[in-house]
Structure 1
Amino acid sequence: MYGDVLSREPRASRTGRLAALAVWAVLLLGVWLWGRELTGFAAAPPPERPAAPASAAGEVGGGTVDGRALPLGREPLPGSEPRRVEVGAAGVDARIVPRGLDGHGAVEPPPMADPGLVGWYEGGPAPGAEGVAVLVGHLDTGTGAAVFHRLPSVRPGDRVRVARADGTVAEFTVEEVSTAERDGFDPDEVYGPRRSGRAELRLITCTGEFDREDGSYTANLVVSAYLTGVRPA
């Protein structure tokens, strides 16, 4: 797919494009492993962490971070395609495009021609529906910062809002920001649900050091959030 595009570009542009594509090497490896599970190649589903207590209204406890109580989780919404994502703490307000798996079982990244887009794996849950919805975005390209460049500044307690096709905005609260190293990558830990029965969200990009020898970053940044509210768009 990329070969035809690269062949028509001058040498300097090709170099920048190749450097940008390398950003995805670690991310695609991890999601490829996860994609194998989603498409039936895994021997068993990913393990779930123990369920948090639910209130009489169906809300799920959010737990605590650094001694601060996180808000209760809201019961999941019906599935609806996501349109935009807003992460105020990272300066993100971006359009979401659906992506599938490529021939190798990896999630297709957003088009390199528009690094301001965020990709949603449409083979999994929609943001707000029960399960783990996955959004991926570029950290940078060969020429500058991309949509998730400031994602490392996000902290537990920050909010993520996803506008959906049904006219609702699903509001998520970040509960964990972690780094998944390339060596010893555990797809169950990264993509498995944190609590049974919740609507969860993962925002994923590359992080760590750029390894020039193999043209990839050394880790993935994983922002984990859960549904805590819903409002009209």
Structure 2
Amino acid sequence: MAMGEQVKVFGFWSSPYTLRAVLALRLKGVPYEYIEENVLGNKSPLLLKYNPIHKKVPVLLHNGKPIVESLVILEYIDEIWKSNPILPKDPYDKAMARFWAKFFDDKCMPAVWKTFWCPEDEREKAVEEACQCLKTLETALNGKRFFGGEEIGVVDIAANFVGFFLRTFQEVTGLELLSAEKFPHLFKWTDEFVNHSVVKETLPPRDKQLEFNRVIIAKYEAGEIKA
């Protein structure tokens, strides 16, 4: 990193979107300052200043300039710091990586997330839709170790909710979407993902995440928060 260059990340430790920015920086070996935000409480004046439109984490602050929205942040990081690229160089492959990252955000993530929070009488349909999305996502692996090939790429980073967080929610709720029987290739990918040396150092502690899941679910059931 150039002398005097300042990189800061405003995030929340249990946010898969924050994890995207942090993981990309770590994969590239970029030093940064991390600022933890209380997203369930009062958001800091700095977060509201740097992301006044969405008022959400993550925010990447590079030399005083804020970049928001996690997929935009990933592309910015890859353009600024060239080592260990997370997007392919080939234009077609790059377009496909963007497609799958957007598919995850627009289709897969909402469908999977809905299964844990929808009313009981809607759950069967929600699970069916989520499993269809996971099946589609699995096709993008196409027998590869990672979505990015032999190395982690932008789609792996984008799909980190499935790579780590999903199985912790399954453990707490007892609702199983992802299993080795249903999605053998995707399930194997999750093991490869969480055991990658850089990812392993970056993920939230598993016990802490499980406890946080329990707290969130209890607050939701008590009507204190909305999913």
Q: TM class, shorter-chain normalised? A: under 0.3
Higher percent of residues as helix:
2
Higher percent of residues as strand:
1
TM-score, normalisation: structure 1: 0.24
